[in-house]
Amino acid sequence: MAWIYKRDNSGFWWIGTRANGRLICKSTGETKKAKAEQQLATLESMEAAQRAGRLNREFFEVLTGAHIEVKSLFDCLDTWLAETTNPNTRRNYDSFAKQLKEALPHNPALLDITPEQVRSFLAGIRAKKQASTANFGLACAKAFFGRFKGSLRKDPTDGIPRFKKEVTSVKREAFTPEQIRQVMAIANPFWRCASAIAFYSGLRLSDIAMLKTHHFTLPSGKLMVTTTKIGAEICVQLPAAAVAMIREQMQPGAKRDDYVWPEQAKHAERGDVGNLSGQFATLLVNAGLRENRAGAGNGRSGRRNVNALTFHSLRHAFISALANAGVNQQTVKNIVGHESDRINDAYTHIGQDTMDKAVALLPDITTTNTPEVKS
């Protein structure tokens, strides 16, 4: 609520108002009340817009006469990305930044972005993707605006709730060892290796596609990698048959930072894991383990159809097989890098030997079409 008044020591009318609990007084520069009332009406309109979250910088500048250095959305996104050193986090933030720039192509001032614009942006993601994807976008938005909170009057993500996941009648299944053998019997070398790695380590498809030479210690059969989703450090002992398949995929003279599967890594690098998932879905259809899927109607950007068997089912199979072999829950969590009960994890230590013995209990799924070991 703003008002006009006269000061004893001034011939001008003054405007008084409160912003964030602070009293602000400003001269109108007018000696006539009617002219001062016009300024008051303008300010009241701006106050109403500011309360609705539609006006920030203009309101402050008119109120105080001070000029605010404007930081554009695009510049701030570029700064934020440049400051992000973790390559896995940077990859996720890159995708978020690209989407936000596409949603707000007019490159507004950062402090002028409203909660309504952020809500609309996230709703656009949710219209095409699963709730988890939209919630990840919200997490990125909170990280971004939190970085520049000193340049904001109010964080536009405040009060935006997470999206609720849809209840689906389709429950994810775990592959049986025989089903995995069916897949491997008709798979190409990459998918044979990927299936074996997923079953013996629980790694997700994106992580497998981006495996590099240095992630494998072939003489000992160790696989050591940090996952992209939560940054968990995975170290597993792969069976000799799986190691033999992987060894055949290594290019002669490969450097330690070379991708083992460069073509698949390209898809994962640009966030197009859906393309690889589609290839695996076709493989399942050809193996007689899944019906040919119908498109969602929105192309690659559309929501995924939920199927009982997917590549992620290999992760389910890995965890289920460990549990069926009597491996305790804490050991399973250490092997697969599950995020739950992290505080408990910090006080519980599982030796590498224990985890290696646990993986050794898993059945052999490489007996079909197992490549010969090179001498």
pLDDT in tens, 302-330: 455 556 789 999 998 888 888 777 878 77
pLDDT in tens, 144-193: 999 998 778 789 999 999 998 765 545 668 899 899 999 999 999 999 99
Residue 375 lies in a domain: no
In this structure, the answer to whether residues 104 and 197 fall within a common structural domain is no
From 106, 136, 151, the end of a domain falls on 151
Closest by Cα among 80, 111, 114 to 98: 80
Could you please report the per-residue DSSP string of 309-374? --THHHHHHHHHHHHHTT--HHHHHHHHT--TTHHHHHT----HHHHHHHHHTSPP---TTPPPPP
Residue 290 lies in a domain: yes
Mean pLDDT of the chain: 82
Residue 162 lies in a domain: no
Give Rg (Cα) of the chain.
29
pLDDT in tens, 104-156: 999 998 988 999 999 999 999 999 888 888 999 999 999 999 999 877 878 99
Is residue 55 pLDDT above 60, yes or no? Answer: no
For residue 38, give every residue at least 6 positions away whose Cβ sits within 8 Å of its Cβ, in sequence order, or none.
none
From 44, 64, 84, the end of a domain falls on 64
Q: What is the pLDDT of residue 306?
A: 54
Residue 82 lies in a domain: yes
Tell me the C-alpha distance between 106 and 239, whole Å.
Answer: 54
Residue 262 lies in a domain: yes
Residue 367 lies in a domain: no
pLDDT in tens, 60-77: 555 555 555 668 999 999
- Is the Cβ–Cβ distance between 322 and 361 less than 8 Å? yes
In this structure, the answer to whether residues 238 and 124 fall within a common structural domain is no
What does pTM read for this prediction? 0.55
In this structure, the answer to whether residues 205 and 145 fall within a common structural domain is no
In this structure, the answer to whether residues 54 and 85 fall within a common structural domain is no
Average pLDDT over residues 9-14: 88
Tally the domains of the chain.
Answer: 3
Residue 95 lies in a domain: yes
Q: Pairing mode, if any, of strands 22-27 and 3-6?
A: unpaired
Angstrom distances, CA of residue 141 to CA of 98, 115, 159, 160: 12, 11, 13, 11
Residue 161 lies in a domain: no
In this structure, the answer to whether residues 19 and 134 fall within a common structural domain is no
In this structure, the answer to whether residues 183 and 327 fall within a common structural domain is yes
> Which residue segment(s) compose the domain that 349 sits in?
177-294+304-360
Binned at pLDDT 50, 70 and 90, residue 359 comes out as: confident
In this structure, the answer to whether residues 196 and 323 fall within a common structural domain is yes
Q: Which residue has the tokens 């001070």?
A: 66
Q: What is the pLDDT of residue 373?
A: 41
